[in-house]
Amino acid sequence: MIVINVVDRDGNEKSISTPTGLSLMEAIRDNGFDQMLALCGGCCSCATCHVFIRQGPENLATASEADENDLLDSSEHRSNNSRLSCQITLADTHDGMVVEIAPED
């Protein structure tokens, strides 16, 4: 199990324990964050799982695939640390990561 710190849209921070191997989207959604809509279920087709990586491995700050990058471009809230949480598979290196759920577009 690893610990991820999630900041919701109201600024409330909650630490969640989650197994590795899940997507960050699944971990956030499964721990009761209703603001994580994830309408497409993790298929990288809707961008409703947009998060900001506040703290974590440096390689997480850049979109990994062209599809993810294109979807993030459609968000008016995109920043240099934006990611789609469905595209991050949790591993031990993510322990202690801090993410913020992005505002809804």
Choose among 4, 9, 8, 7: nearest CA to 23: 4
| Phi-psi label, residue 39: left if phi above 0, alpha if psi -120 to 50, beta otherwise | alpha
- Tell me the per-residue pLDDT of 36-86, one tens digit each, with 9 for 90 and over: 999 999 999 999 999 999 998 877 766 668 899 999 999 999 999 999 999
Domain at 2-101, CATH class: alpha beta
pLDDT of residue 63: 66
Asked whether the predicted pLDDT for residue 29 surpasses 90, the reply is yes
Vertex 80: Cα angle to 4 and 19 (nearest 5): 20
Counting residues of the chain whose pLDDT is more than 90, the rounded percentage is: 88
Q: pTM of this prediction?
A: 0.93
